Amino acid sequence: MSDVAVVLVEPQGPLNIGSVCRAMANFGFSDLRLVNPQTDHLCEDARQMAVKAGGLLELAQIYPTLAAALSDRQYALGTTRRFGRYRDDFLAPHEAAQCLGELGQISTALVFGREDCGLLTEELDLCQRFITIPTSDDFPSMNLAQAVSLCLYELAKVGAITASVSSVELADNADVENMFAHMRTSLTNIEYLVESNPDHILRTYRRIFGRAGLSPRDVKVLRGLWRRIGWLYNQLEEKGTENR
């Protein structure tokens, strides 16, 4: 199985963090990353729930933002129940596991949001694909550690079966985000993206590129287009000035 980090964004409950460690140990995972935790993850409650996996609490890395936690990852899967327009991009846990199995050796993150309100839209923007656990419409909200446990169980199931060859060599998240920043500037200048809300249409591109998976070369080719558009825009600005 590929190298998988479990990322908890602003976890609030020490019992949950401890339970997550135990579930990680159950299924053979060890890279825990906490983004701006709202509680002391080394407290007694967390250790008690971790049982024999307390070592993972000690090893957990703390990050100020999700972007920082994902900077060395090639692929991030964000868990959410917020469907909206992008319903098609949602994977059930076993589908996500298959998808990772097919991608082969890549560095991956499974991202879980706050106990009460999950991941924010701008955090989901940093993920290539979304996982949603099919729960009852009447009681959709799962316990955080149980959700982690389910996803890792599915990954471990696929990991035991596949050792597939990688198809796409994926670019690092930081490079992809730089490409998106360039894209946003370039396409806002030419008023294709609306200045007041550039991310609305940009999000459609995030979904397309997320499904595709971008290689380092893809990122380079795309930046070439944003650069060309930027050059065009500058030309037009200059001509406009000349004519005044």
What are the tokens at 56?
């993972």
Residues in the chain: 244
**Contact between 138 and its own copies per CB under 8 A:** yes
Give min distance, CB of 83 to its own copies, in A: 10
**Contact between 160 and its own copies per CB under 8 A:** yes
Give min distance, CB of 173 to its own copies, in A: 17
> Contacts with its own copies: how many residues (CB under 8 A)?
77
Give residue 174's identity as a one-letter amino acid code. A
Q: Which of residues 54-73 bind its own copies (CB under 8 A)?
A: none
**Contact between 125 and its own copies per CB under 8 A:** no
Say if residues 45 and 25 touch (Cβ distance below 8 Å): no
**Contact between 38 and its own copies per CB under 8 A:** no
**Contact between 100 and its own copies per CB under 8 A:** no
| Out of 15, 68, 120, 174, the residue judged to bind its own copies by CB under 8 A | 15
Say if residues 105 and 75 touch (Cβ distance below 8 Å): no
d(CA 32, CA 21): 8
Q: What is the dihedral of CA 26, 38, 63, 146, to 10 degrees?
A: 20
Q: Which is nearer to its own copies, 181 or 211 (CB)?
A: 211
Give min distance, CB of 64 to its own copies, in A: 29
| Out of 165, 195, 196, 244, the residue judged to bind its own copies by CB under 8 A | 165
Say if residues 79 and 132 touch (Cβ distance below 8 Å): yes
| Out of 2, 12, 81, 94, the residue judged to bind its own copies by CB under 8 A | 94
Angle (CA) 74 84 35, round 5°? 40
| Out of 88, 117, 195, 197, the residue judged to bind its own copies by CB under 8 A | 88
**Contact between 81 and its own copies per CB under 8 A:** no
**Contact between 149 and its own copies per CB under 8 A:** yes
Q: Which of residues 181-200 bind its own copies (CB under 8 A)?
A: 187, 190-192
**Contact between 77 and its own copies per CB under 8 A:** no
d(CA 152, CA 93): 9
Single out the residue of 157, 204, 179 nearest to residue 26, CA to CA.
Answer: 157
Q: Which is nearer to its own copies, 92 or 181 (CB)?
A: 92
Single out the residue of 122, 140, 121 nearest to residue 132, CA to CA.
Answer: 140
**Contact between 150 and its own copies per CB under 8 A:** yes
d(CA 123, CA 154): 23
Sign of the dihedral through C-alpha 164, 165, 171, 176: negative
Q: Which of residues 199-238 bind its own copies (CB under 8 A)?
A: 201, 204-205, 207-215, 217-218, 221, 224-225, 228-229, 232-233, 235-236
